[in-house]
Amino acid sequence: MKLSELGEDAVVSRLTRSLRLDGRVVVRPGDDCAVVETAGSLQLLKTDCIIEGIHFLSDANPRLIGWKAMCRPISDVAAMGGTPRDALVTLAVRPDVEFAWLKRVYSGLEAAARVYGVNLVGGETAKSPGPLFISVALTGSIAGGKYVGRSGGQKGDWLYVTGKLGGSINGRHLRFRPRLAEALWLVAQFPIHAMMDLSDGLASDLPRLAAASKLGFEVDSSSLPLHHGVSIGNGLRDGEDYELLFAVPSSVKTRLEAEWRAKFPKLRLTAIGRLVEKGRTQFTEKGYDHFGR
């Protein structure tokens, strides 16, 4: 069977389900990051890649290509409640590329590393026979062992998203800001049961969080926070929002909303629905799947 027939989630799940891991591995493949015990502390590990023609076009601003490559794994570390630490970059690039262009890509990587306190400690450069390929590996630390995965959601939890959804293809997908400060604050202040970043669109990502928590969900589509001019369908499916999706017990709803407004007055926080018993799901639309049509 071809990968495109299976779909990305099934491919990853089938590739990784038989892995033998030792007792240091706390969170197995399938969450935003792996969680591993290292030297007595929990460490987050994440890799991500962006590829010319898939995640950016050849004529994109090279600085923004670098920015995006670094910010994607930072967003994943943030979504686990972690602090990003050290990054390694692997570049595969055609030999006829101008050094000055590649230097601008690197300056975008460096800019994002600086803004989010990441050490860019090295990496590899290899010859690509075709498209530019940038892979970033990132480590993260966890304060007090309090990481947040996708699987801790409980029935009745409220579901929230930060910011607005949809339309990122018009440029936002290259310029987004990982919600690092917001995630760290949430995890420090509230009992966040489950959290992830929205990379493939709410219609794909929310079912993943619900499935990991062995629950269903009910979302009022008309309540979704949408960017200007974006339809509900696009808000659900476009992907590359890089906003936070999280679940909290209903007991903290009032305090969360009040304290959020005081702490992050410029960034919207929207209650979009709740986690419910397994089997019930609100969405019928299907989000973007890397291997689907």
Binding to its own copies in span 134-173, by CB under 8 A: 135, 137, 139, 141
Q: Does 71 bind its own copies (CB under 8 A)?
A: no
Binding span for its own copies by CB under 8 A among 42-50, 223-231, 258-266, 271-279: 42-50
Identify the helix (H) or strand (E) that includes residue 12: helix 8-16
Q: Is 112 exposed, middle or buried (0-12, 13-18, 19+ CB in 10 A)?
A: buried
* Contact of 248 with 190, CB cutoff 8 Å: yes
Binding span for its own copies by CB under 8 A among 3-11, 169-177, 208-216, 259-267: 3-11
What's the closest the beta carbon of residue 276 comes to its own copies, in angstroms? 29
Integer-rounded Cα radius of gyration of the chain: 19
- Tell me whether residue 141 or residue 221 sits nearer to its own copies (CB atom): 141
Q: Which of 60, 61, 110, 257 binds its own copies (CB under 8 A)?
A: 110
Cα angle 139-33-256, degrees, rounded to a multiple of 5? 105
Q: Which of 2, 58, 222, 229 binds its own copies (CB under 8 A)?
A: 2
Binding to its own copies (CB under 8 A) within 9-28 occurs at 11-12, 14-16, 18-22, 24-25, 28
What's the closest the beta carbon of residue 98 comes to its own copies, in angstroms? 6
Q: Which of 64, 93, 182, 224 binds its own copies (CB under 8 A)?
A: 93
Identify the helix (H) or strand (E) that includes residue 120: strand 119-127
What's the closest the beta carbon of residue 18 comes to its own copies, in angstroms? 8
Q: Which of 41, 170, 231, 251 binds its own copies (CB under 8 A)?
A: 41
State how far Cα 39 lies from the chain centre.
Answer: 26
- Tell me whether residue 125 or residue 250 sits nearer to its own copies (CB atom): 125
Q: At what angle do helices 99-115 and 62-79 cross, to 10 degrees?
A: 30
Q: At what angle do helices 62-79 and 180-189 cross, to 10 degrees?
A: 10
Q: Which of 256, 283, 277, 285 is nearest to 160 (CA)?
A: 256
- Tell me whether residue 33 or residue 275 sits nearer to its own copies (CB atom): 33
